[in-house]
Structure formats: structure tokens, C-alpha cells
Amino acid sequence: DAGVIQSPRHEVTEMGQEVTLRCKPISGHNSLFWYRQTMMRGLELLIYFNNNVPIDDSGMPEDRFSAKMPNASFSTLKIQPSEPRDSAVYFCASSRGTGLELFFGSGTQLSVL
């Protein structure tokens, strides 16, 4: 199994630009999670989906952030417009069911200048 695949691994952009992060979960997993990791705030849950439906998006910091899961094998996290304080590592994770082991991707290192 290829594991959770995230792209890009690194993204450098300028303030105000749109950023799209992509995630392909493990086949057969029906829950997908987006986390953000920073030194100051640690690991924060942004949003998670179950069977492609958003269950809890209370962690999405503001309206500039949006996430979609159009099918069981693909999800995106979009930031528009991006700001320097969005700089962080963004992780996608998937699991088979809820409350079970999460499998993490390698993350996207985002730098907004």
C-alpha cells in the first residue's frame, strides 16, 4: 500500500496568493483528517470527513480556509488569500472508521512570504 499521499511536499508562495494542498487517502479508508502543525500551537485539527462528508470543521481558522472531498480517494485544502501566519506543515491523515489508528502523510511545508 502506498500510504497517504500529499502534494506538494513544499510550497512557497507570496501573501495574497491562493494555495491548494492535495491528499490521497489510503484505499478503503473512510475517514480523512487535515491537521496543521506549528511550533507555537502544536498539532491542530482543522477538519475531518467521514464517508466524504465534513463532520467537524470547527478547527478551520477562518473563511480563507476551505476543504473539499469530492470522492473517497481525493481531498483538497485551499487557502485564499494566503497570509504569512498560515506558514506551517499541513498533514493529511486517514483511517478505517472513526477513533481508530490514523495514518499520516508526509505533510506539506507551506511558507507564505
Task: Give me the residues that bind another protein (CB under 8 A), please.
Answer: 4, 31, 33, 42-43, 45, 48, 50, 55-56, 91, 93, 97-99, 101-107
Closest approach of another protein to the CB of residue 75, in Å: 15
Return the number of the residue (82 or 108) whose C-beta is nearest another protein: 108
Return the number of the residue (43 or 113) whose C-beta is nearest another protein: 43
Report which of 106, 34, 88, 38 is spatially closest to residue 66, judged by C-alpha positions: 34
Name the amino acid, one letter, at 6.
Answer: Q
